[in-house]
Amino acid sequence: MVHGYIVVDKPLGMSSAAVVSKIKRLFNVKKAGHGGTLDPLATGVLPIALGEATKTLSYVLNGDKVYRFEIKWGEARSTDDREGEIIATSNKRPREAEIKKILPHFRGKINQVPPAYSALKIQGKRAYTLAREGKPVLLKSREVEIDDLELIKVLPDSALFEVACSKGTYVRSLGRDIAEALGTRGYILTLRRLRAGAFQEKNAILLDSLLQIGHNTELMTYVLPLQDALADILALEIQNIEAVKLRQGQAISIPKGDKDVVLVLSEGKPQAIARVRAGKLYPLRVFNLDEIGE
């Protein structure tokens, strides 16, 4: 049994679902899932939960993300990335000073319209399905939060940026809107995720490297404990006899306190994600670990 996270450096041209499928077969696990979809044209940090760690995926999905992306100036594309058809052009190439001047308008809470080629549903159909059928795609503006947005490098026909943002932010929309604010057109040429929740680029291993290792003991050295996904959550240690009750769905008494969510440990091993209310510990997600991959 393997319970933990493997952080894959997703290769270009492969879907997130395809990566999960390969990892699932490699580790021979029944349950696996990823912590946030990356488009086939994106690379970078793709945390994959194995076994009981899948119960913590929502905390990775809700965590902030960091991306490095390149905007190609002069063209708008139907998909807001390089796969789409050219739908508008502009001869303007913004200068560094112009770019830096407008960036503050894209920090903090902003509204953005998701790309037409997105997985959002409109009356039961995916937006990208409607777009491919040539039907109108009317998506509502939504609020997202940009914690930081920096210009990294200016090139003759493009510019490189880094953004830290909340769940639900579309970098393709951000690139499109930055270009329009500069009086030109633009689309995302390259996109790489540097961080997803608690998982960073330095934790990631190339998919090809994992496949070359194959299913042996060395492979297990790359599995991170499931509690790594919960690094920002308060940990609470309890006795083993109380842990048994908690795993059976029972609330247990603890010193008074109110916490939204805690990670419950017994002898250093994760037992559950729970909520503290009025001196009681109520289980939200219970872990059944025969063995923790480390």
Structural domain count, the chain: 3
Q: Quick check: 11 pLDDT over 60?
A: yes
Same domain, 132 and 51: no
- Cβ–Cβ < 8 Å for 86, 74: no
Neighbours of 122 (CB within 10 A): 15
Percentage with pLDDT > 90 across the chain:
61
Q: Which two tokens stand for residue 154?
A: 């200016």
Q: What is the pLDDT of residues 109-168, one digit of tens each?
A: 999 988 776 666 766 777 767 667 677 677 788 899 999 999 999 999 999 999 999 988
pLDDT tier at 289 (50, 70, 90 boundaries)? confident
Residue 200 makes CB contacts below 8 A (sequence gap 6+) with 45, 194
Same domain, 77 and 12: no
Q: Is residue 251 part of a domain?
A: yes
Same domain, 118 and 176: yes
Most confident among 137-146, 170-179, 209-218 (mean pLDDT)? 170-179
Residue 105 confidence (pLDDT):
97
Same domain, 74 and 167: yes
**Lowest mean per-residue pLDDT among 27-31, 45-49, 183-187:** 27-31
Residue 294 confidence (pLDDT):
38
Q: How far, CA to CA in Å, does 179 sit from each of 69, 85, 231?
A: 13, 17, 36
Same domain, 71 and 172: yes
Q: Quick check: 72 pLDDT over 90?
A: yes
Same domain, 101 and 128: yes
Residue 154 confidence (pLDDT):
97
Structural domain containing residue 129: 65-188
Same domain, 78 and 162: yes
Whether this prediction's pTM lies above 0.85 is answered by yes
Would you name the residues annotated as active-site residues? 39
Same domain, 81 and 156: yes
Q: Is residue 193 part of a domain?
A: no
